[in-house]
A = this chain, B = another copy of it.
């Protein structure tokens, strides 16, 4: 393609709408334009990148025997009501766009396709002889994000590859899950990305196990904890670790002490000259279930530890029993509005005891059960002679013990957040390291969650009707494109991995009025494209400096300049990633570039 004939517009300034480097660069280099919040037009250069990623995804999926299809984006609410997710997705979490059609039917815009594919499986899969099956699609998906941001990272309209597998039993599911793990590893390697596969929380999708594929980048929204022996990596939402050992408490007598101005663990441990590991911290959460019901939850946890919201949410969902579909909102401190409605008097924030006293609860709520739930984290349940709040501002108790001084909650949970520096559970000599990641892929063992809810069964060899075993597997195609930019750029622009660059090479003519330059460039442009090296020709009537800057901004891996060295039968070839420049005989350009491209793929 000739730049003079392309929709090729670059910007000198960073657009105000963009916060992170990849978002700025994709806008400045003319890859995309914003049409609405979280909604982008993918311009021709970006479309080529997305196609290359899709082609790699397709090849790796096809190699596993998966079959491509295309499912509807418009989804009838009935199917989502069968699975029990309609309210969660449209109301509680509100991430599914929904509409009413001209027949007054409710429809959702697919953020994911478990319901649709399960309905198809229910219709078409009758016998164990049809199993296993793995169906996938590459498609635009929709999520009405509360905070759409960072361009393609968290858009409201984005491209996904999603696959759904069906199995006669769990072993078959696990085998396909492993195939998908391998396929995803291949996809990310072939795209030229640095990444990590990590244990993950399954969230609203549900199921028994899941792995996320994280592209490593500082702007990643997720925190990954891993060990350097390569044996453990997990999203912080899911990560486990051994907490530091608690320092034995020296407070052997239970008593209430005057501890003014110590609402934080730090100030309290300083005043009492004790270790935070000797303190039981009591954190109050306001939880909104997707049924609309609000419950207060008091979590007791060791003073040096924090509650992980996702783990807490999962514990609460388990209690709700609605196969994980429950949504909760957790607040570190009760908001003022709630205090008025719920609490009878101002709460002793910073001084709450492990059992929040009954007289804090608004009388009208006393008969609502449960008015609040208590749970104790594993780190706090083992403590003895601990320091904790007294339910009275300015006072703490020391030397406390469960069941003696405070009733021990019957709910003992693991909701602590693992931290960098913690010891690993698989090998306590390893400590957890931290990294930022962008979630690009997520694979799930769904089990029979959807097939059971929607009655998708098959006839086993024994003649028995059995709910299908299912897995699902997603890759964010458009997000992957931007994550590559986030991982690979410099101050001058994008540095595309060759495999997903919109073009491999660009021939730059410094001066288009120079006939020799143009002739050489045209010939190279034609020959390179004929040889399979996808090449742009910058034949615009612009200054050489502008063209060089643009080629760096756009990030094409190899730049060929038909400049001064033409006199000696050579052209300059510059590698974008290293900045390395060399002069090459014109006759050698095609084979050299062919080799470079082949080496990089």
Contacts and interface: CB of A to CB of B under 8 A. Distances in A.
A139 B4 CA distance: 27
A376 B324 CA distance: 68
Interface string A187-219: 000000000000000000000000000000000
A1 B73 CA distance: 27
Contacts of A139: 140
A156 interface: yes
Where chain A touches its partner, the secondary structure class is mixed
Nearest to A41: B71
A514 to B, nearest CB: 19
A36 interface: yes
Q: Name, among A7, A65, A157, the residue most crowded by chain B CB atoms within 10 Å (CB to CB).
A: A7
A109 B135 CA distance: 26
Interface in A358-384: none
Minimum-distance CB pairs A-B, first 9: A99-B99, A44-B67, A42-B70, A36-B76, A39-B72, A9-B124, A35-B72, A41-B71, A102-B144
A140 B146 CA distance: 25
Interface string A27-63: 0001001011101111110110010000000000000
Contact of A116 (B35, B79, B103, B129): B35
A53 to B, nearest CB: 13
B156 A124 contact: no
Nearest to A8: B130
A600 interface: no
A101 interface: yes
Contact of A124 (B33, B98, B541): B33
Interface residues of A, number: 60
A116 B39 CA distance: 11
17 contacts: A5-B133, A7-B130, A7-B135, A9-B130, A35-B79, A36-B107, A37-B103, A39-B72, A41-B71, A41-B120, A44-B135, A73-B142, A74-B157, A97-B101, A102-B146, A109-B109, A140-B140
Interface string A103-138: 101010100000010011001110001100101000
Nearest to A40: B72
B98 A69 contact: no
Contacts of A97: 74, 99, 101, 107
A44 B47 CA distance: 24
Contacts of A44: 67-69, 135
A575 interface: no
A16 interface: no
A94 interface: yes
A338 interface: no
Contacts of A156: 74, 101
A41 B65 contact: no
A116 B43 CA distance: 12
Contacts of A1: 67
A400 B79 CA distance: 65
A75 interface: yes
A120 B33 contact: yes
A6 interface: yes
B105 A36 contact: yes
